[in-house]
């Protein structure tokens, strides 16, 4: 049995939870009105209903796990980065440094509204690789290993005095 939550919207489960609470309230009121059936109603209907409603509320309204949106790995609610793909699940508000979830656009503390950038999956993104020109180390006046500047006397040495790297 897995701990993954089914894909049920909280708005669809909320009426069922409210109905369960109403039925529970009626069962308790009925227990006081009908003394004969009070023990039966409370034991066989009320107590299991309390556990059922509590379980549904804690599962759907206070989850202790979430899925990473990038790799679908199950992680804790308060995990800052996904351990699988390093996706940032918690970010800081730029204004007050309060922790925000990756999908929140409004800071709960200061009310700062951040903009969410959405890149469509079918977008054609091209990355340009710019190669830096190679430095000719034959006539350079620095060590090719550590980059230390060499004086005229040090240029004739075979090894760098700073790092011990080979000069020529």
- The rounded distance, in Å, linking the Cα atoms of 154 and 163 is 13
Residue 3 counted as domain residue: no
Residue 146 counted as domain residue: yes
Residue 76: enclosing H or E segment and its boundaries? strand 74-76
**106 plus 146 within the same structural domain:** no
Q: What does the mean pLDDT of the chain come to?
A: 75
**83 plus 49 within the same structural domain:** no
pLDDT tens across 102-126, in order?
Answer: 888 888 888 888 776 677 778 777 7
**84 plus 55 within the same structural domain:** no
Residue 50 counted as domain residue: yes
- Which three-class secondary structure state does DSSP give residue 25? helix
pLDDT at 1: 36
Q: Hey, which residues does 88 pair with through a beta bridge?
A: 81
Per the confidence metrics, is the pTM higher than 0.75? no
Structure tokens at 140: 């350079």
Residue 159: enclosing H or E segment and its boundaries? none
Residue 52 counted as domain residue: yes
- The rounded distance, in Å, linking the Cα atoms of 103 and 160 is 52
The phi and psi torsions of 129 (rounded to 5 degrees) equal: -95, 120
Q: Domain of 92?
A: 77-118
Residue 127 counted as domain residue: no
- What's the structural domain count of the chain? 3
**41 plus 81 within the same structural domain:** no
Q: Residue 135 — pLDDT band, cuts 50, 70, 90?
A: low
Residue 1 counted as domain residue: no
Which residues lie below 8 Å from residue 14, measured CB to CB, with a gap of 6+? none
Instruction: Please report where in the chains the tokens 């209907």 appear, as a residue.
Output: 45
- The rounded distance, in Å, linking the Cα atoms of 79 and 91 is 11
Instruction: Please report where in the chains the tokens 């369960």 appear, as a residue.
Output: 20
Residue 100 counted as domain residue: yes
**15 plus 50 within the same structural domain:** yes
More confident position, 148 or 138: 148
Residue 72 counted as domain residue: no
pLDDT tens across 60-71, in order?
Answer: 777 678 888 888
């Amino acid at each position: 049995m897995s701990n993954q939550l089914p894909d049920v919207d909280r708005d669809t489960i909320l009426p069922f939870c409210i109905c369960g609470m109403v039925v529970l309230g009626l069962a308790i009121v009925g227990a006081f009105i009908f003394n004969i059936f009070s023990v039966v109603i409370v034991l066989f209907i009320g107590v299991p209903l309390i556990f059922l409603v509590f379980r549904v509320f804690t599962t759907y309204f206070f989850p202790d796990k979430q899925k990473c949106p990038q790799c679908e790995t199950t992680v804790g609610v308060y995990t800052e980065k996904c351990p699988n793909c390093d996706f940032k699940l918690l970010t800081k508000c730029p204004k007050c440094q309060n922790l925000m979830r990756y999908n929140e656009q409004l800071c709960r503390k200061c009310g700062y509204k951040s903009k969410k950038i959405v890149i469509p999956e079918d977008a054609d993104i091209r990355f340009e690789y710019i190669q830096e020109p190679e430095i000719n180390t034959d006539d350079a006046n620095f060590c090719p290993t550590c980059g230390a500047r060499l004086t005229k006397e040090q240029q004739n040495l075979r090894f760098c005095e700073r790092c011990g790297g080979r000069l020529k």
